[in-house]
Amino acid sequence: MKVTVVGAGNVGATCADVLAYREIANEVVLVDIKEGFAEGKALDIWQKSPINLYDTRTVGVTNDYSRTANSDVVVITSGLPRKPGMTRDDLISTNAGIVRSVTENVIKHSPDAIIIVVSNPLDVMTYAAHITSKLPRTKVMGMAGILDTARYRAFLAEELNVSPKDIQAVLMGGHGDTMVPLPRYTTVGGIPVTELIDSAKLDAIVDRTKNGGGELVKLMGTSAWYAPGSAAAQMVEAIVRDQKRVFPVCIKLEGEYGITGTYLGVPVVLGKNGIEKVIELQLNEDEMALLKASEKAVREVMDVLDNMPANA
């Protein structure tokens, strides 16, 4: 098995490191536009293989997509963070151009690859990669739900003083403050979380989860990388090892939840074919209203991309 990670920044390098350490693929190729950057990160990861005892070969290349040929899975982390003075539209335009270019190069050399998008704004970048690749929707997906769910579970574990291993949860919708946490589907060792924590504390944790990325930016001056990189690697593992894991993943909806054409996070089954099943939960009125609000917010961002000159 061969996995390519495009973008050797903090998120991409963390993803490559986790893939190597867990021996999820025989070879991990790290690609970046900065001369020598990916080569250095890959070499550093390879040099700790005798220490951490793994065999996965890590290779770094500068803009040479021929080295990515015949990849089974490709993770796209490329893109710029939003800078002071940059509008949302500027960010969408810049990163969509990057994601399109990367996708074209990836598909040229690995036409059967499954693509996982991590670049932001996540939902619309998944859209850009999907329409560029022309692959089935089951083979182009966005990583956000696993990260958001992990933050939610970590905060709950802290509040309840229990192991995060015993907390299961589902989040839906867009990545950001319109995400839809579902306490009704959150359990601790099989016990509904609502039996273990009062509603005010649970609401506070939900709000903290929605702003989880922003909290880290305020603390560090930059966006997160350990958890996002690990989340992307977990998706790769589910595909490469055909684990049939149930994860919240961004996908183009085609009628599920009464939504068509919008890219939203929903629970799916991940296996060797990519998204093997979209799971439709029986949402109540309040939950469905939140999901529709999230759809509206994501659709507005998709419309920004659609209305840009290059897409007219």
Whether 123 and 175 have beta carbons less than 8 Å apart is answered as yes
Question: Is 118 marked within a binding site?
Answer: yes
Whether 108 and 114 have beta carbons less than 8 Å apart is answered as no
Residues in the chain: 312
Whether 185 and 196 have beta carbons less than 8 Å apart is answered as no
Whether 240 and 72 have beta carbons less than 8 Å apart is answered as yes
CA nearest neighbour of 7 among 93, 129, 98: 98
Q: Is 175 a catalytic residue?
A: yes
Q: Residue 167, CB half-sphere, CA atoms under 13 Å: how many?
A: 24
Question: Is 63 marked within a binding site?
Answer: no
Question: Is 12 marked within a binding site?
Answer: yes
Question: Is 20 marked within a binding site?
Answer: no
Give the 3-state secondary structure percentages of the chain, helix then strand then coil, rounded to 5: 50, 20, 30
What does 178-225 look like in DSSP terms, one character per residue?
T-EE-GGG-EETTEEGGGTS-HHHHHHHHHHHHTHHHHHHHHHSS---
Amino acid letter at 296?
Answer: K
Question: Is 137 marked within a binding site?
Answer: no
Question: Is 11 marked within a binding site?
Answer: yes
Question: Is 162 marked within a binding site?
Answer: no
Identify the three-state secondary structure at position 110: coil
Question: Is 241 marked within a binding site?
Answer: no
Question: Is 9 marked within a binding site?
Answer: yes
CA nearest neighbour of 108 among 164, 61, 64: 64
Helices assigned H by DSSP within 48-188: 49-52, 88-109, 122-133, 145-160
Q: How far apart are CA 27 and CA 240, in angstroms?
A: 12
Q: How far apart are CA 178 and CA 296, in angstroms?
A: 10
Whether 137 and 273 have beta carbons less than 8 Å apart is answered as no
Which candidate in 175, 210, 252, 299 is catalytic? Answer: 175
Known catalytic residues are 175
Annotated binding-site members:
7-12, 32, 82, 88, 95, 118-120, 151
Annotated binding-site members for NAD(+):
7-12, 32, 95, 118-120
